[in-house]
Amino acid sequence: MTNHLQEVEDGMKSRRQQAVRWKTHGHVLATVKSIFRGWEDVVVELIKNAYDADARNIWIRCPRKDLPEADRREFEVRDDGHGMTREDVETKYCATGRDKISADGYRSPNGRTVNGRRGTGKFAALVVANEVVVETWARGEHSTFKYTEEAIREASDNDVAVDVLTEACDPSERGTRIALLGLFQNEPLPTERSIANVLLRHFGQQSDVTIHINDVPFTPQDHAQRIDEIIDEEIPGFGSVTGAIWLTHQPIKTPGIVIYHRGQTVHGPSLFGVEHKGYRGDTRTLTKKLVGRISVEPEDESTIGTGAWTLTNSYKAVEEWLGKRLEKIVEKGVEDHLQKRVDNWLRDSIAKKHYERLNDEQKAAARRILVSRAKTAGDTEVNTRAERVIARFVTRSMRVNNLAVVVQAVEEADDATVDTLASILGGDGRWTLRQVVITSTVVKERVKALDELAKVTADDSYNESAIHKILANNPWIISDDFHSFRSNRQILTTLREVFGIHATNTDATTRPDFFFVLGNMLSSADGAAVSDMRYLFVELKGPDQPLGLDQQNQATNDASKFLHYRGGGHANVWLIGTRFHPRMPCATELAVSSPVRYHYRATTYQELIELCRRRLMYLDEGMASQAEQVAKKVVELNEQEIAAMVK
């Protein structure tokens, strides 16, 4: 007997490699890939296997930038569970399709609810990796083997050979290590954060196991806040549910609740319709933070766990119950979050000062507006300058009756609008509030002037003097790019007063209706060549008289005389009227004396008015956004109110 034990011990100390017959078929992998679709399923299946082995600790190692393993593209899950002997590898691990529940029951040796059923979870790893290496320790045996996707696919019968290397080890060593090699690149590798989110959803309730991610223990509270705990609650028409719902600290790619039945995932992750409620801003962001797991005990188990379950009234009862519960969670969470944001905004010294002066009704209205604003503002930094300015704006405006329409506009504005409005109020944007005030006033005045000119030029009862008066008061109608403007002044007077040139010839006593120096006027003493100067001469007639050759000759002669005394330059000659003599050319270019030339143009008041309206439209485009429209309403206040608003 003693000799026999010695022989066994000597044999265990030596390494031995022996083929184990793996009872599976090539079609299994195709079936598995239709069930398990990504890293979340892979991680869940590997942890489930470790949990079923009564592991107290599970270590997950994933590549990260500061780890040498990052370049090797390996992923590893190790546990301190029961492990497997060589016999276990052959009779259990390599026996695909084995009915684990019938053989071992629903409970593990230590009383845990078993997750595994048919032994197909081991193949989930082949969804993301080409090769799986298994290393396991149990009862003094240390076994190592591997399997690949190629080997499984090439299987044509139920007898695939797997080489298992077994050697003796310390009997106290136990557990299993599974390494995934040759990781596919069709989706990003799991990160510490993504794995934490998976654990939070599937294993956040487990207190009898510690899971480590790159040697750091996973603690659910470090990643999320438990906001709902469900203990044996009854769902009418279904059965009972138990579980927990968490709110992650950061939005995640795939939020939702998973439904488990006796350790098996039967549905999810899903938000059960909450994501389709049309939420915006913080509310929408909140739905991207919901994760959790519930375990169900249905009264009728005939269809649960099958593809047909989602078509039954049993599932619809769960779906409706969870949808309403999640909706209440979202609404409460959003309300709490929004109130905190508004409190932060109102801590601003100026907003706080105005807020404290309000009566209870005004305070309620101000908070209601700011909460509505916060709903659409997005989950941004609560102390941004934009939001502080808006809080000041709203609390100040509560005490000004004629600001109701402005407050309503702010309440309905979107994120970008409020940011722009804050810049306007604060004076940092392209359009400051002062610019909006000035521009709005200018646009209104100019539109009024154009309307008056259109009225006068369309009525034959008005003469030239009526039109001359309007244009003299609004020279921008002819040109808004002039340095100097003269109305009905003699050429010799203009030469003397504007250019310091004294002309005594009597032929310089004619009076152009309008004379403009275009652009920036620089004297020759400043180094500007006289030939670079630009001038505009204008002759016009009222609707009661047509423009003829006499006016044309007078205007061109005035330009020639002026350029002669000035010593050169460039001139434009405009004739403006309602009607024109048939023989008068509408547009031409005439040479006066080399190198002096002038450009001649004849146009109607209607064309001039339309041109000006287009210019005003372009000017108004700078205030076309909703923010500038709100600012336009603000300018209706008097200057004192505006000053108080932007302080």
d(C-alpha 152, C-alpha 150), whole Å: 5
Question: For residue 430, is pLDDT > 70?
Answer: no
- Asked if residue 241 lies in contact with residue 294, where contact means CB atoms within 8 angstroms, the answer is yes
Instruction: Name which of 336, 227, 331 is nearest 279 in CA terms.
Output: 331
Question: What is residue 182's three-state secondary structure?
Answer: strand
More confident residue, 539 or 434: 539
Question: For residue 279, is pLDDT > 80?
Answer: no
Distance of CA 168 to the CA centre of its chain: 58
Question: For residue 12, is pLDDT > 50?
Answer: no
Confidence (pLDDT) at 561: 85
pLDDT class for 587, splitting at 50, 70, 90?
very low
Confidence (pLDDT) at 108: 76
Question: For residue 469, is pLDDT > 50?
Answer: yes
At a CB cut-off of 8 Å and minimum separation 6, what does 529 contact? Answer: 568
d(C-alpha 97, C-alpha 242), whole Å: 30
Sheet of 596-604: strand order equals 482-487, 514-518, 534-540, 570-577, 596-604, 587-593
**Tens of pLDDT, residues 546-557:** 888 888 888 888
Question: For residue 3, is pLDDT > 80?
Answer: no
Residue range 510-519: mean pLDDT, rounded: 87
Residue 92 carries which DSSP code?
Answer: I
**Tens of pLDDT, residues 161-195:** 778 888 999 999 999 999 998 888 777 788 888 88
Confidence (pLDDT) at 418: 66
Confidence (pLDDT) at 413: 65
Percent of the chain topping pLDDT 70 = 71
- Asked if residue 72 lies in contact with residue 139, where contact means CB atoms within 8 angstroms, the answer is no
Confidence (pLDDT) at 1: 40
At a CB cut-off of 8 Å and minimum separation 6, what does 572 contact? Answer: 518, 534, 535, 536, 537, 598, 599, 600, 601
d(C-alpha 364, C-alpha 376), whole Å: 19
- Looking from the CA of 506 toward its CB, the CA atoms found within 13 Å total 0
Question: For residue 594, is pLDDT > 50?
Answer: no
**Tens of pLDDT, residues 434-450:** 666 667 777 788 889 99
**Tens of pLDDT, residues 379-419:** 454 446 667 777 777 776 666 555 555 666 666 666 677 66
Confidence (pLDDT) at 158: 53
**Tens of pLDDT, residues 136-170:** 999 999 999 888 877 776 654 556 677 888 899 99
Strand partners, 515: 486, 537
Confidence (pLDDT) at 570: 81
For residue 68, cis peptide bond before it (omega within 30 degrees of 0): no
Our CA dihedral for 600, 605, 607, 613, rounded to 10 degrees, sits at 120
- Asked if residue 211 lies in contact with residue 203, where contact means CB atoms within 8 angstroms, the answer is yes
- Characterize the bridge pairing of strands 57-61 and 210-213: parallel
- Asked if residue 286 lies in contact with residue 241, where contact means CB atoms within 8 angstroms, the answer is no
Comparing 39-48, 294-303, 305-314, 440-449, the range with the smallest average pLDDT is 305-314
- Cβ neighbourhood burial of 602 (10 Å; 0-12, 13-18, 19+): buried
> Can you read off the two tokens belonging to residue 206?
């487990």
Confidence (pLDDT) at 412: 66
At a CB cut-off of 8 Å and minimum separation 6, what does 543 contact? Answer: 456, 457, 458, 459, 460, 462, 578, 579
Residue range 480-509: mean pLDDT, rounded: 83
Helical spans, DSSP H, in 346-432: 349-356, 360-376, 385-397, 404-412, 415-426
Question: For residue 428, is pLDDT > 70?
Answer: no
Confidence (pLDDT) at 142: 93
Q: For residue 204, what is the enclosing H or E element?
A: none
pLDDT class for 72, splitting at 50, 70, 90?
low
**Tens of pLDDT, residues 330-379:** 888 878 877 888 888 888 877 888 888 888 878 887 888 787 777 666 54
Q: For residue 176, what is the enclosing H or E element?
A: strand 175-183
> Can you read off the two tokens belonging to residue 358?
């309000």
pTM of the predicted model, to two decimals?
Answer: 0.53
- Give the residue carrying structure tokens 């993301």: 128
Comparing 11-25, 42-56, 65-79, 266-280, the range with the smallest average pLDDT is 11-25
